[in-house]
Homo-oligomer: A and B are copies of this chain.
Amino acid sequence: MNQVEWRTSLRLVGTVLKWLWVPFLLPLGIALYDGTAVTPFVLPMAGVVVAGEGLERLTTDTTFREREAFLMVAVIWLGVAVVGAVPFVVAGAGTLADPVNALFESMSGITTTGATVIIDFDAHSRAILMWRAVLQWLGGLGILVLATAVLSQLGVGGGNLMETESQTRDVTKLTPKISETAGLIWRLYLGLTGLQVTVLYGLHLGGFAPKMTLFDAVAHAFTTISTSGFSPRAASIAAFSPAVQWVIIPFMVIGATNFILIYFVSQGHFERLRDSEEFRFYLAILAFFTIAVAGILFLDGGPHTEPESVVRHSLFQVVSIVTTTGYASTDFNFWSSGAKHLLFVCMFVGGMAGSTTCSIKALRWLVVLKAFRRDLFVASNPRVVRPVRLSGSVVDEQTIRDIYAYALVSLLFFIGATIFVAVDASRGQLTVSEFEAMGAAAATFFNVGPAFGIAGPFESYEPFSRSTKLLMTFLMWIGRIEIIPVLVLLTPSFWRT
């Protein structure tokens, strides 16, 4: 074992950074069209090219093992977050002018979290609001490539299971090179984004969505397929008609569906949907929580009165939170304690592995459920050997152990973060209830976005203390890249021989 070749990692980070000037073109174009400031975009465009080229020249070494991959993943997300914050600081408008806020917003963007520190949406140019959406779209694409090409190879938190269950292995046969897999996913991602823009703007042109301008259609398509949830509107999806809300629901579901599975379905292999235990489990989760929330809202007799609106808001919010999108079709702060707690539980679930979804993910919970049921069986029948099966294949015991550990460590992080937020708030002047602290900790760590009360869907994370906001920035970072790549960096042995 040799030392980690950090130069190799940084060289690859450089290759990513170097091309980061391209996505700045969209907000730059809007700024030129609107006649608003262009420096917030031109400056970082120049910066990333220089920095990227510089990092690429660090080394010619091509050693690339697990350690270099972990370091690269951690640094890319952190680096892009820093670059993404530059336009906010340079534009200098509203709460985003503060560097801590800007970094929070940018990290919330690239990690597809969707928690915002904006208070006054009107203070910001359309170009800046579009930059937030672009960051999330990039973050979604980045995680897809990461999940299918890198994390599954590294076996993070049972990631090798994704190899079989998510059918990554099948696609690896189709496209033996990582670059080909990435290309396939990238075209699918682009296609789905285009489809949603068309549908949303079509609704507008058809008169079903008066407020859904082309700008809004693009921004929302960017932040739906990436299950990320930034909206240029302060009222999120509640700003739009019920038709828009109904249309966004299936796109959120698709964003949190395994993209390899979507690819096969797009090729006409519908039987893959039925064959995937994870997909059936994911749909069952959505159905279960929607029925439970709708049942509670009906029994509560409020705040929604029409049956259609109870069903729509229940389905929308459950899908929004399980997929970790974080859009709001209504201010669920006004829902009863039971309904809010159900949404809180949804934060821990997440959609399918191999998608843009965040959180612990349905695949891991399915393995936990099956393995624990097996463990109970073996406890009373210790002489029986019973493997855990998923979609017909045996899940190996080391994968099960890794998944138990991943879920456990996630919960411990969540508990620790909750305590930090609650205690830090109590030391300041901010009134944050324990439930609000729990919600805000889960919403940032699991990259959901909005939570409850002070961190509610129409509120802002701005009032939290700077230390809390920095903690949350850290939580969004490690939550998005599945914890392990960051924790590995924190072990001394990583840096030694």
Contact = CB atoms under 8 A, between A and B. Distances in A.
Q: How many copies does the complex hold?
A: 2
Contacts of A154: 379
Contacts of A488: 376, 379-380
B373 A422 contact: no
A375 interface: yes
A9 to B, nearest CB: 12
A284 interface: no
Contact of A422 (B155, B156, B337, B376): B337
A491 B336 contact: no
Contact of A382 (B155, B372, B373, B423): B155
Interface in A314-358: 336-338, 341, 344-345
Interface in A397-413: 397-398, 400-402, 404-405, 407-409, 411-412
Interface string A418-445: 0100110011000001110010000000
A66 interface: yes
Contact of A487 (B376, B381, B427, B491): B376
A396 to B, nearest CB: 11
Interface string A475-497: 00000000010011001011000
Contact of A336 (B379, B402, B426): B426
A70 interface: yes
A426 B337 contact: yes
Contact of A401 (B1, B336, B404, B484): B404
B66 A379 contact: yes
Given A491-B377, A493-B377, A405 B402 contact: no
Contacts of A411: 408, 411-412, 415
Contacts of A67: 380-381
Nearest to A435: B434
Contact of A379 (B155, B415, B423): B155
A76 interface: no
A342 B484 CA distance: 26
A214 to B, nearest CB: 43
Given A371-B405, A408-B411, 11 more contacts: A67-B381, A70-B379, A154-B379, A155-B379, A337-B422, A380-B488, A380-B494, A401-B404, A404-B404, A433-B435, A434-B435
Interface of A: 1, 4, 66-67, 70, 154-156, 336-338, 341, 344-345, 368, 371-373, 375-377, 379-382, 384, 397-398, 400-402, 404-405, 407-409, 411-412, 415, 419, 422-423, 426-427, 433-435, 438, 484, 487-488, 491, 493-494
Closest 6 CB pairs of A and B: A337-B426, A404-B404, A434-B435, A434-B434, A401-B401, A408-B408
